[in-house]
Chain A
Amino acid sequence: MSELKASNISMVFDEPNGNRVEALQNVNFSLKQGELLAILGPSGCGKSTLLNIIAGFLAPTAGRVSNGDHTLIHSGPDRGMVFQQGALFEWMTVSENIGFGPKMAGTPAQEIDAIVNDLLDTVGLQDFGDKAVYELSGGMQQRVALARCLANNPDIILMDEPLGALDALTREKMQSLVLKLWKETGKTIILITHSVEEALFLGERLFVMAPRPGRIKKQYNLPFAEAGLTQNPRDIKTSPEFIATREEILSMIWGMEEEIMGNSQAVGA
């Protein structure tokens, strides 16, 4: 079907003190329908900025984002967003949160019920529909956020460190859930993470970004996400190929961090 395309995206922030931050410089990529892209990079390299531009929350200084034939300017229900935390509506029950998108679109109540029940099943929260969201654990809250996003049936799902606030065990379980949903729904997904392991395990494609100016430093096409649909996650993550790629990327990121530290020391001196 359609293709998500980012062409020559640049973003410059003018800080109040007169500094110019080149958050993104000339970023280009395209994603086919149903691809899962993971983005990795040191803090401040422009990952969130890029995602917010794609979501339509930020207008880039230059460049254009398009989905198929039409240019994406404003945010819209075609692109769903899952945040790290704090984006659920505490005054609504779990079900009301999930049904929010359809309700805003004027979907009849019965249909909303059906959608919500279906999604509660999908994310394994059958018995929690009437609970308040603040009564749930962090992992469960992220399941609600995923379900709420899916209820709108977006073309593209954007996730900014969706599992970043979870403990290691919950995180592994949620990674498998993301893969399962990706497979079942065939959505295009862009996922930002700080975890190299997570990026390798989930990203069918992987961008490693570098800071100052923010840019895509290296791209990978990886087999692990596809394998994760059928094989045991632990087996994949301990396989020699996985470990080799992980070490390669880790040393690349460490290199960047050292560069940043070196630069800032030079500036300070």
Chain B
Amino acid sequence: MTLIKSFTDYIGFTKSGIQTQKISTFGDTEAIGKGRLWSIVSVLSLALVWHMGSKLGLINPIFWPAPSAVWQQFISISQEGYRGFTLWEHIWASLSRILIGFGFGCLLGIPLGFAMGLSEKIRGWFDPIVEFFRPIPPLAFIPLVIIWSGIGERSKILLIFFAALWIMVIAARAGVSSIKLNKIHAAHSLGASKKQILQHVILPNSLPEIFTGMRVAMGVCWGTVVAAELVAANSGVGYMIMVASKFLATDIVVLGVIIVGLIGYSIDILMRKIEAKLVPWKGKS
């Protein structure tokens, strides 16, 4: 009996007794980001399965290479290169494309979203355009983009720009309309002019939404650039994967895939760090 009682006490089912500790963290946003121990265990066990599977000959290296083979390709490509570029140059080729395309997408998308949020006329004008292009996957434009500007840098950047643009327009617009009327009224009665309200109230208030948009856009852009390089490119991680697949070099393909995953993950972590620094009030109003 006492055992059962102390167990129910522990999981927080008894009515008597004061609970000084938070028992359940289910749905508690502070608990997100915890559970890191399990992440480590998960990664390590996957690596172990991979290693053992290859070592015991359970996995055919034509379909899936051994970790050691991937590691060797990593060393050799980062030093000697593949198809004229080292691994780092391939990575940089992909990264610089998304940085430029994403940058232009923000540069045009954020002001446009703001204008749509603030002015009825502009919202009316651009709403059908944005809503039409938004659901189209950027890759659907690859054929057109290749016709316009070949398989060089410009075509990829244009695609990335397209991918980022609509997301940023919608994020900025949502940011503007997320302002509570209370805050606008308060600012008015504190004597702020329209311009001051825009600068000191509406703009900062929209930052959390804009950051969420940026994170989403970055993810989509990274996926788009790799996919675009698979189709048409002469450098980049996607290009590396595509060429290697033609030669059945699965070790290079897997290396490429791992790098795509790692970089995508790092970008998101970086964006989250920046977000926590720049908009610490997010979700706390």
Contacts and interface: CB of A to CB of B under 8 A. Distances in A.
A and B are interacting partners? yes
A1 B204 CA distance: 39
A79 B188 CA distance: 10
A128 interface: no
A9 B185 CA distance: 21
A67 to B, nearest CB: 14
Interface string B184-195: 011111111100
Contacts of B279: 91
A90 B196 CA distance: 16
Interface in A176-198: none
Contact of A104 (B191, B204, B280, B285): B191
A134 B283 CA distance: 10
A100 B185 contact: no
A100 B205 CA distance: 15
Contacts of A101: 190-192
A75 B181 CA distance: 14
A101 B284 CA distance: 23
Given A90-B281, A90-B284, A152-B190, A104 B196 contact: yes
Nearest to B201: A89
A132 B279 CA distance: 12
B186 A83 contact: yes
A57 B207 CA distance: 26
Contacts, number: 74
Given A86-B180, A134-B285, A91 B188 contact: no
Contacts of B285: 86, 90, 134
A105 B191 CA distance: 7
B interface, size bucket: 20 to 34
Interface in B43-84: none
A88 B187 CA distance: 9
Given A75-B185, A100-B200, A91 B191 contact: no
Given A86-B180, A90-B281, A104-B190, A81 B185 contact: yes
Interface in A80-127: 80-81, 83, 86-91, 100-101, 104-105
B272 interface: no
Interface residues of A, number: 28
Between A76, A100, A148, the greatest number of chain B beta carbons within 10 A of the residue's beta carbon is seen for A100
A55 B182 CA distance: 12
Nearest to A55: B189
Between B183, B207, B279, the greatest number of chain A beta carbons within 10 A of the residue's beta carbon is seen for B183
Contacts of A79: 189
B193 A132 contact: no
Interface in A130-180: 132, 134, 148-149, 152, 154, 158
A88 B281 CA distance: 12
A232 to B, nearest CB: 33
Nearest to A104: B192
A79 B200 CA distance: 20
Interface string B256-282: 000000000000000000000001110
Contacts of A90: 281, 284-285
A35 to B, nearest CB: 20
A90 B178 CA distance: 14
Between B187, B188, B192, the greatest number of chain A beta carbons within 10 A of the residue's beta carbon is seen for B188
A13 to B, nearest CB: 16
Given A86-B180, A87-B183, A134 B281 contact: yes
Interface of A: 52, 55-57, 75-77, 79-81, 83, 86-91, 100-101, 104-105, 132, 134, 148-149, 152, 154, 158
4 shortest interchain CB distances as A-B pairs = A77-B191, A90-B281, A101-B190, A134-B284
6 contacts: A52-B185, A86-B182, A100-B192, A101-B191, A104-B191, A148-B190
Interface of B: 180, 182-183, 185-193, 196, 200-201, 204-205, 207, 279-281, 284-285
